[in-house]
């Protein structure tokens, strides 16, 4: 049996974590380059991912392993619905489509829930602890980059968790108390790395949209400058 699963996960996913931070979409996001249409596609994907995870964790809340890391106060589905209404409008359920990478992620969550429920620990750890760790920073970046005025970032707000650091300590302690054999612990670490990979695939799908949007913005900026330059030349004394 293992008594340090949280440490195993932290150490065993370091490389995957670094790789995820270096995906183009994430690097742009962290630098404050966020395009609303690309971002709302990510919010849609996350909605389906969290819906699947929270549905399965609720169904398995009495499972000997899942029950130990089942904390409903972490649930993100409702907050993502709030954000989707903001980005897509009242008809968001028809407009917010899942991407192929998002669907693959959802399918994997349902698969492990049916065949190896203890691997849900991997998906919960990868998403929720990441949300708690960098949520407030990402919230500010999104607000500044997209000129949001108090809306569109409900995803990053954990209203039922007053002390995020204390809660993360509680969550890690819960993981360390899991009664799983070494082999299962190693499988959980591997699944967490796979979860990072699925997140990266979602980010990579958005890169094309982001690059295209940035290209359009640059083109429009250059066009405006050229137009302004031509107008200034027409109005100059030498042109009269």
Number of domains in the chain: 1
Please say whether the dihedral angle defined by the alpha carbons of residues 29, 34, 35 and 41, taken in this order, is positive or negative: positive
Q: How many whole angstroms separate alpha carbon 133 and alpha carbon 128?
A: 9
End-to-end CA distance of the chain: 88
- Give pLDDT < 70 ranges for the chain: 1, 208-240
Q: Cα angle at 78 between 75 and 83, to 5 degrees?
A: 120
Domain assignment present for 231: no
Domain assignment present for 125: yes
pLDDT of residue 137: 87
Query: Tens digits of per-residue pLDDT, 16-52?
Result: 999 999 998 888 888 888 888 889 999 999 999 999 9
CA neighbor of 56 nearest in space, from 77, 40, 34: 77
Q: How many whole angstroms separate alpha carbon 112 and alpha carbon 122?
A: 10
Domain assignment present for 171: yes
User: Which residues lie closer than 8 Å to 119 by C-beta, 6 or more apart?
Assistant: 112, 187, 188, 191
User: The CATH number of the domain where 163 resides is what?
Assistant: 1.20.910.10
CA distances (Å), origin 112, targets 1, 28, 69, 74: 21, 32, 16, 20
Domain assignment present for 225: no
What global pTM score does this model have?
0.86
Domain assignment present for 229: no
User: Which residues lie closer than 8 Å to 78 by C-beta, 6 or more apart?
Assistant: none
Q: How many whole angstroms separate alpha carbon 40 and alpha carbon 36?
A: 6
Query: Tens digits of per-residue pLDDT, 153-184?
Result: 999 999 999 999 999 999 999 999 998 999 99
Question: CB–CB of 46/80 below 8 Å?
Answer: yes
CA distances (Å), origin 217, targets 220, 223, 230, 235: 5, 10, 20, 27
Domain assignment present for 240: no
pLDDT of residue 73: 97
Domain assignment present for 234: no
- Structural domain boundaries enclosing 93: 5-219
Domain assignment present for 32: yes
Question: CB–CB of 236/53 below 8 Å?
Answer: no
């Amino acid at each position: 049996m293992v008594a340090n699963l949280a440490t195993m996960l932290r150490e065993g996913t370091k490389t995957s974590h670094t790789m995820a931070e270096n995906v183009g979409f994430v690097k742009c996001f962290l630098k404050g380059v966020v395009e609303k249409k690309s971002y709302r596609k990510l919010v849609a994907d996350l909605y389906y991912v969290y819906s699947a995870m929270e549905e399965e964790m609720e169904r398995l809340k009495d499972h000997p392993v899942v029950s130990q890391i089942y904390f409903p106060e972490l649930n993100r589905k409702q907050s993502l619905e709030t954000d989707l209404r903001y980005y897509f409008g009242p008809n968001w359920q028809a407009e917010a489509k899942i991407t192929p990478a998002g669907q693959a992620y959802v399918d994997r969550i349902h698969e492990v829930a049916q065949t190896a429920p203890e691997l849900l620990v991997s998906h919960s750890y990868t998403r929720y602890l990441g949300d708690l760790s960098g949520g407030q920073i990402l919230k500010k970046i999104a607000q500044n980059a997209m000129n949001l005025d108090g809306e569109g970032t409900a995803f990053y707000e954990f209203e039922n968790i007053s002390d995020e650091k204390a809660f993360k300590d509680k969550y890690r302690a819960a993981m360390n108390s899991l009664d799983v054999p070494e082999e299962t612990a190693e499988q959980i670490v591997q699944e967490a790395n796979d979860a990072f990979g699925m997140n990266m695939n979602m980010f990579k799908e958005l890169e094309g949209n982001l690059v295209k949007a940035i290209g359009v913005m640059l083109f429009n900026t250059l066009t405006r400058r050229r137009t302004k330059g031509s107008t200034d030349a027409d109005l100059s004394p030498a042109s009269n």
